[in-house]
Amino acid sequence: DIQVTQSPSSLAASVGDNVTISCRASRSLSSYLNWYQQTPGEAPKLLIYASATLHTGVPSRFSGRGSGIDFTLTISGLQPEDFATYYCQQSHSTPNTFGQGTKLEIK
Amino acid sequence: QVQLQQSGPGLVEPSQTLSLTCAISGDSVSSNSAAWNWIRQSPSRGLEWLGRAYYRSEWFYDYAESVKGRITFNSDTSKNHFSLQLNSVTPADTAVYYCAKGREKRYNWFVTWGQGTLVTVSS
């Protein structure tokens, strides 16, 4: 199975900050790495797919990049609604696997 | 707009079968472009993909090795829903279970999710 490792596991930031979350895979994913946002009690929501494509309706302050084994999710100008937990997921191979999550908290 | 509505019991006894259903609106379970996934989430295991089913003139199934042999997916085109059965459950199967719409091959990102069902395995 492909392992995906996210870092950091938690992050404290302020409204207006720029933050970056990383995901590293145990082998190449090409560009098949996707990002989700989850708030407590809710299902995850797709933010970015295929490394860098913004899902419909997702604000442009979210961006993704990377290929191979290293990927990043950047949020530029944090908004109050962005404080949540973020997950990466690889869809390159089955079983699809998720990172362990990054909890973004208010500083 | 696609919506997924889950149903099923929230409590299952050990060694019994966990059964959940995901009703689809705004799409077809036999769509030639969709795959229907089950995913679960627990504090100990995080988000865990259980498998997917998709129809391309016939049904195809991918199951995670962690549950292979215990898991079955079914679909009902008349009711436009798909279902999960997980046999011989143990407390380790306690989790929030989600259905989600994705696609086949490497395009399996989850664009739509069900609301989640907390299933507790306990006597």
- Average pLDDT for chain B: 96
If DSSP codes are grouped into helix, strand and coil, which group holds residue A45?
Answer: strand
Strands, DSSP E only, in A17-81? Answer: 18-25, 33-38, 45-49, 53-54, 62-67, 70-76
pLDDT in tens, B29-38: 999 999 999 9
**pLDDT digits over B73-111, tens only?**
999 999 999 999 999 999 999 999 999 999 989 999 999
Chain-chain contact of A89 with B110 (C-beta, under 8 angstroms): yes
Cβ contacts below 8 Å, chain A against chain B, sum to 55
CB distance B110–A95 less than 8 Å?
A: no
Give how far Cα A74 sits from Cα of A22, A107, B99, Å: 9, 18, 27
CA B41 – CA B97 distance, rounded (Å): 6
Count of CA atoms in the C-beta half-sphere (13 A) of B113: 21
**Three-state DSSP state, B2:** coil
